[in-house]
């Protein structure tokens, strides 16, 4: 009998799960790039670049010879320190040197192919900061860095040379553009004018302060005339002017006249009315900063309108229990006339104080910091809608104004006025909805916004590293 020993089965060639997952990542990128209308070319002999995207004009089918190199990292193990909105990726030092060395733009795509989920970053742009380069760490924000068809224009912006003059046409789509213009729908129809020997607003306020009409500010002094939306033939107005010169005028004639002087008077009159409307809603005018802002609350507690903070204090992270500063929502505005229509142009901004009243020592640095962070279109739209609600006097959370607030008229002096217990709608002005335009094209904001960074609150009352809550 011959003995042959145990029979051992030999293993065939294998391709592991890591390789399969990597191939799935490449396939996911390939599909998304095709959906964008761009060209994908995989590299089969590579040392750190998995493929190349070539920009293509989907409308004309023209390829532009503008490329992006792509490195793919696929699998859950690459999602470090993950939260609902962020995750981190740590680059290998040799990989990073290789990616940054060449002359073509390079993007990193980190994906979970099984979940049809991918995120991207432009490596040369991200690692321009020496501190980031030293750390080798990338902080991905999922919303801002999602790699899908909506990233088309942002990718093209990475590929196209800045000085080439090349561009991709907008993707055909239906969209609605919201402007920052509120139509002025109602204003007083009668304008009274009379000669006066008063030349300074303070003189008018001194007389009005002694009467029950101290809160009436719908008037203007201009070229030795007193203009008012109140009937000048009644007290106390008749004591401010020469009664025999009183004229009862039609306001629309002044509003829509081509005479610059008449337009100037009308603009100042409705601006004074606006001053009064906003005062009723807890908004005051800053003479120093030339904008309106929400007043502090009497107890310095946070105030919200429609879920958005309009006044809030931020605690120092260095000194426990100390408030570093207060942030007030604010607005710049001006009345503009287009053809036979008047609009209020509104530009949201911020006001910063040390104690709710005195300007922050680092006002400009704080303002610059928050505007660098608030680059998302949706953030600006939320603020526009907030001010639309206030100016149209139709927001649900209307609260009483602080009692005994000092009110400063835009063109007059400061005076003490008791605030009403309940806000009554201001009767002399009304506005329509923000002007909107329906268009059949659109540009996703990812195409023109830089990659955003994590947003935190400022840690102290110092000019370094402002990070704020939206």
- pLDDT per residue rounded down to tens, the chain (470 residues): 555 556 555 666 666 677 788 889 899 999 999 999 899 998 877 777 899 999 888 777 888 778 899 999 999 999 999 999 999 999 999 889 888 887 889 999 999 999 999 999 999 999 988 889 999 999 999 999 999 998 888 888 888 766 554 445 555 566 788 899 999 999 999 999 999 999 998 999 888 888 775 567 899 999 999 999 999 999 889 989 999 999 999 999 999 999 999 999 999 999 999 999 999 999 999 999 999 999 999 999 999 988 889 999 998 878 888 898 999 999 999 999 998 899 999 999 999 999 999 999 888 888 887 766 565 567 778 889 999 999 999 876 554 444 444 343 333 334 444 444 567 889 999 999 999 988 766 655 555 555 444 433 333 444 433 333 33
Rounded Cα distance between 350 and 372, Å, is: 13
Structural domains in the chain (count)? 2
Q: Are 229 and 188 in contact (CB under 8 A)?
A: yes
Residue 337 within a domain: yes
Residue 162 and residue 274 share a domain = no
Question: Residue 396 phi/psi, 5° resolution?
Answer: -75, -30
Residue 277 and residue 163 share a domain = no
Q: Three-class SS of residue 432? A: coil
Burial class from Cβ neighbours inside 10 Å (0-12, 13-18, 19+) for residue 322 reads exposed
Residue 227 within a domain: no
Residue 286 and residue 162 share a domain = no
Choosing from 169, 203, 220, the residue where a domain stops is 169
Residue 319 and residue 440 share a domain = yes
Looking only at the bridges linking them, the beta strands covering 303-305 and 117-122 are: unpaired
Residue 151 and residue 278 share a domain = no
Choosing from 137, 169, 201, the residue where a domain stops is 169
Rounded Cα distance between 227 and 241, Å, is: 10
Burial class from Cβ neighbours inside 10 Å (0-12, 13-18, 19+) for residue 15 reads exposed
Domain span including residue 354: 182-187+270-447
Q: Three-class SS of residue 399? A: coil
Q: Are 299 and 423 in contact (CB under 8 A)?
A: no
CA end-to-end span of the chain, whole Å?
Answer: 87
User: Which residues have a Cβ under 8 Å from the Cβ of 165 and sit 6 or more positions away?
Assistant: none
Residue 90 within a domain: yes
Residue 214 within a domain: no
What DSSP element (H or E) covers 337? strand 323-338
Residue 275 and residue 421 share a domain = yes
CB atoms within 10 A of CB 314: 19
Task: Show the tokens assigned to 337.
Answer: 């006339």
Question: Residue 238 phi/psi, 5° resolution?
Answer: -65, -25
Residue 264 within a domain: no
Packing angle of the helix pair 260-280, 377-391 (nearest 10 deg): 90
Residue 311 and residue 434 share a domain = yes
Choosing from 138, 169, 200, the residue where a domain stops is 169
The CATH number of residue 51's host domain is 3.40.1350.10
Residue 202 within a domain: no
Q: Are 445 and 177 in contact (CB under 8 A)?
A: no
Residue 231 within a domain: no
Rounded Cα distance between 30 and 126, Å, is: 23
Residue 419 and residue 282 share a domain = yes
Residue 194 within a domain: no
Q: How many residues does the chain have?
A: 470
Residue 391 and residue 276 share a domain = yes
């Amino acid at each position: 009998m011959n003995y042959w020993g145990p029979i051992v089965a030999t293993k065939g060639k294998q391709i592991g799960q890591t390789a399969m997952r990597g191939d799935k990542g490449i396939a996911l990128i390939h599909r998304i790039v095709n959906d964008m209308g761009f060209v994908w070319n995989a590299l089969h002999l590579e040392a750190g670049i998995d493929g190349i995207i070539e920009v293509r004009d989907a409308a004309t089918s023209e390829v532009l010879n503008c490329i992006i190199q792509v490195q793919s990292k696929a699998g859950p193990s690459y999602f470090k320190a993950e939260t609902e909105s962020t995750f981190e990726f740590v680059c290998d030092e040799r990989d990073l040197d290789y990616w940054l060395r060449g002359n073509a733009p390079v993007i990193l795509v980190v994906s979970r192919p099984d979940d049809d989920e991918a995120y991207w970053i432009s490596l040369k742009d991200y690692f321009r900061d020496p501190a980031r380069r030293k750390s080798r760490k990338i902080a991905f924000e999922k919303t801002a860095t999602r790699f899908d068809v909506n990233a088309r224009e942002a990718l093209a912006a990475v590929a196209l040379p800045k000085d080439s003059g090349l561009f991709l046409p907008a993707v055909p789509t239906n969209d609605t553009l919201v402007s920052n213009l509120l139509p002025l729908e109602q204003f007083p129809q009668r304008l009274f004018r009379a000669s006066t020997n008063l030349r300074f607003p303070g003189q008018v306020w001194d007389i009005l302060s002694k009467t029950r009409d101290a809160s009436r500010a719908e008037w203007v002094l201009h070229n030795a005339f007193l203009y008012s939306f109140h009937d000048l033939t009644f007290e106390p107005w008749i004591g401010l002017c020469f009664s025999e010169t009183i004229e009862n005028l039609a306001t629309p004639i002044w509003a829509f006249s081509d005479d610059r002087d008449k337009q100037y008077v009308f603009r100042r009159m409705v601006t004074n009315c606006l001053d009064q409307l906003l005062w009723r809603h807890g908004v005051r005018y800053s003479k120093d900063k030339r904008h309106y802002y929400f007043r502090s609350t009497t107890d310095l507690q946070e105030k919200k309108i429609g879920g958005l903070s309009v006044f809030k204090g931020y605690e120092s992270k260095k000194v426990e229990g100390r408030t570093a500063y207060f942030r007030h929502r604010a607005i710049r505005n001006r009345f503009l006339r287009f053809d036979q229509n008047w609009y209020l142009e509104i530009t949201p901004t911020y006001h910063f104080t040390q104690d709710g009243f005195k300007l922050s020592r680092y006002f400009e640095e704080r303002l610059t910091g928050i505007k660098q962070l608030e680059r998302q279109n949706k953030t600006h739209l939320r603020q526009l809608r907030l001010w639309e609600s206030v100016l149209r006097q139709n927001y649900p959370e209307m609260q009483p104004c602080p009692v005994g607030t000092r009110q400063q008229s835009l063109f007059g002096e400061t005076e003490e006025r008791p605030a009403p217990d309940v806000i009554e709608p201001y009767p002399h002005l009304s506005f329509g909805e923000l002007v909107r335009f329906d268009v059949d094209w659109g540009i996703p904001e990812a195409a023109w916004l830089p990659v955003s960074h994590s947003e935190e609150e400022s840690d102290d009352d110092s000019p370094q590293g402002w990070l704020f809550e939206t």
